[in-house]
Amino acid sequence: MLNRFSRRRFVAAALAGVVGLGALGACGSGSGDEESSGPVKLRFLSLAWQKESLQANKDLVAKWNAEHADIQVEYVQGDWNSVHDQLLTSFEGGDAPDIVHYEASSIGEFSKQGYLADVSGLLSDDFKGQIDKGIWDTATFDGKVTGVPFLLESQVVIANKKLLDAAGIAVPPADGGWTWDEFQANAQKLTGPGKYGVAWALKSPTNRVLNLALNFDGKYFYTDGGRTEVRVGDAEKEIPKRIHDMLYASKTASPEALGMSGADTLPGFFAGKYAMLPGSVSLRQQMVEQAPADFEWVTLPPVRGISANQAANPQTLSVSADSKHQKQAAQFLEYFLNPSNMAALAKGDWLVPTGRQANEELVKATTGKQGWDVAADSAKDLTVAPFQMVDGYPEWKLKYATPALQQYFADKITLDQLGTQLVDGGKQVLR
């Protein structure tokens, strides 16, 4: 599958255009003097890009402004492709936006450099209580909460309903996903001449593997005495081995899907070549938009190991440390992310809201159709993963983990050789 955030960044360039440095640099109301009169003015840099999400963002800002004459928010359109460098420039220049939309895995760098405010003391206990601690942890750095997590992306399974029915396989309830053993057994039932039970789109395998590794408490990164190292034990080997077994032992997974993104697998899925597609919860949007009229599909809950835990990398909203109006910015955030509004934002992006009440409202509004019941229920199993807190992870992923996993899934190296390459790569990067 084309990674949700990668796909988002690619499409966003076409939809939103590139925000110039001048435009972003003008965002910071906190870099100048306090206004002597008139309303407080806040600049909100949003990275919304899907049509429904864009409209929801703009409508909420307009509604806030109509109801709060003393605090006015200016909506500034950002771009996922270029926002990192633009923010770095604006933070260094002291003219950053008051409110910044980004993602948990990317704000750590800015947080550690002191560019983002600790919002833990600015938000009400009721608001904070709506979001689980494990989700807050993804936006907590050096003890400071520098982002408000609001949209999540879980890994689910999209399945061909007619093929499930033909194989006598019942659709599990939203809160009762299959175990890995059951998933593999059902993939076997769905495999036959010219068709496979599963298509694993593993063009970019590392995040997927480390994400699902939490099903078996696989951490990969271990910190002891202030030093972090990569370890590959039985827990870490579970997911790679199970996927490899499906490819080469039971032959229930299509080998041709290995180099594909999730979108690449859709023609084969619609044609009945693959019965199940493990992938992002956002893949449901493409089902709605692209599936043939007579095609019946269903969203299956996340597969479980010893747990259904997955890594969470939520989209976040942060307040600039240089903003002169942090209290007012926090007021806006609580309004913008109240349960009803958060549910609307999640629906527009086909993602999962972090707030418990927002999830309930989303399921009620959609009656759970199009997999929204499964999406909402999956939020409870999303939490911070060790790799998300490691500064050297991007380099390890690019130079060592991705090539090694690709070799393993292509059956060119053994499981033990995979482990050795991952550990050795960690030694190079985490020195």
Neighbours of 66 (CB within 10 A): 8
* pLDDT < 70 positions in the chain: 1-36
- pLDDT at residue 148, as a whole number: 98
- pLDDT at residue 200, as a whole number: 97
- pLDDT at residue 9, as a whole number: 44
d(CA 402, CA 350): 27
Contact (CB, 8 A) for 24 and 78: yes
| Tokens of residue 364, six digits | 């009620």
The pTM is what? 0.83
| Tokens of residue 221, six digits | 């990164």
Write the pLDDT tens digit of every residue in 64-98.
999 999 999 999 999 888 888 889 999 999 889 99
Helix/strand/coil for 71: strand
- pLDDT at residue 17, as a whole number: 43
Helix (H) or strand (E) segment spanning residue 103: strand 99-103
Contact (CB, 8 A) for 140 and 296: no
- pLDDT at residue 36, as a whole number: 54
- pLDDT at residue 389, as a whole number: 84
Phi and psi (nearest 5°) for 141? Answer: -130, 125
